[in-house]
């Protein structure tokens, strides 16, 4: 009797959640679920530009990270990079090319393959170390721009208490080009600063791939927080009904 009563309360609560009228819904038994999720991802990303007040979710794009540290690489990058006030622009402009989805009653596996012509990270930086045996020291503003990048998101979640809980989320970045700009290197020395910026850009591929896991982990954590906030507000059976 008590179990039936509690289930009734749960159903009533789930039914009471009001989604915005334009919120995209995909049914997990849809034979074209992947295509539905692909299109829905684009729509939800655009909604996050302004926030979703009906779900008590504030503006989440551009993506912001208060602090981010990228550890030394395994090769030519022997410097720990500290960033503050990180802002990542361009996520809302990603083209979602493909969505591979496996949705059951108690779990969700999702892989999104996206393309972005430009993803731009702007931040306050602080570095002190060596790159290509050259000293790199400075603090100030920096811009890291990923050009023509394939961005892959892999997520696994389980349903607990009617809501989806993210258990794993991974981001992979594969740019065709990375442009780097660090202002105020060597205390603002213009000649040294320009020379180091030139060398960094000439060797962008080796530099980026040596430490890209640090960027990927930080971005994955930030995206996970945004997505989990949505999952906490909307029951799984509302997001992906039968």
Task: For 45-86, write each residue's pLDDT tens digit.
Answer: 999 888 999 988 999 989 999 999 998 888 888 988 999 999
- Positions in the chain whose pLDDT score sits under 50: 1-16
Question: Which range of residues forms the domain containing residue 114?
Answer: 32-52+62-239
4 within some domain: no
| 133 three-state secondary structure | coil
pLDDT for 163: 97
Q: What are phi and psi of 42, to 5 degrees?
A: -65, -45
The answer to whether 127 and 93 have CB atoms below 8 angstroms apart is no
15 within some domain: no
pTM over 0.75: yes
Nearest C-alpha neighbor of 17 from the set 159, 225, 166, 163: 163
pLDDT for 8: 41
Average pLDDT of the chain, as a whole number: 91
Q: CATH code at 212?
A: 3.15.10.30
1 within some domain: no
E strands, the chain, in order: 63-70, 77-89, 95-103, 107-131, 134-160, 163-174, 177-182
pLDDT for 137: 94
20 within some domain: no
pLDDT for 17: 62
Cβ neighbours around 95 below 10 Å, total: 12
């Amino acid at each position: 009797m008590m179990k039936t009563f509690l289930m009734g309360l749960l159903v009533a609560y789930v039914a009471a959640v009001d989604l915005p009228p334009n919120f995209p819904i995909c049914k997990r038994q849809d034979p074209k679920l992947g295509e539905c999720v692909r299109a829905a991802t684009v729509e939800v990303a655009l909604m996050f530009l302004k926030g979703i007040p009906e779900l008590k979710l504030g503006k989440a794009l551009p993506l912001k990270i208060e602090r981010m540290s990228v550890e030394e690489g395994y090769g030519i990058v022997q410097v720990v990079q500290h960033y503050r006030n990180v802002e990542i622009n361009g996520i809302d402009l990603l083209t979602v090319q493909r969505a591979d989805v496996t949705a059951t009653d108690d779990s969700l596996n999702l892989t999104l393959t996206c393309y972005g012509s430009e993803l731009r990270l702007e931040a306050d930086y602080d570095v002190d170390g060596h790159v290509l045996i050259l000293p790199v020291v400075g603090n100030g503003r920096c811009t890291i721009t990923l050009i023509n990048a394939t961005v892959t998101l892999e997520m696994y979640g389980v349903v607990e208490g009617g809501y989806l809980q993210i258990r794993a989320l991974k981001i992979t970045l594969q740019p065709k080009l990375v442009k780097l700009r660090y202002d105020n290197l060597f205390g603002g020395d213009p000649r040294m600063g320009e020379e180091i910026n030139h060398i960094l850009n000439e060797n962008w591929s080796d530099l980026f791939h040596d430490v890209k896991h640090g960027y990927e982990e930080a971005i994955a954590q930030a995206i996970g927080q945004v997505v989990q906030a949505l999952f906490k507000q909307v029951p799984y059976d509302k997001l992906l009904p039968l």
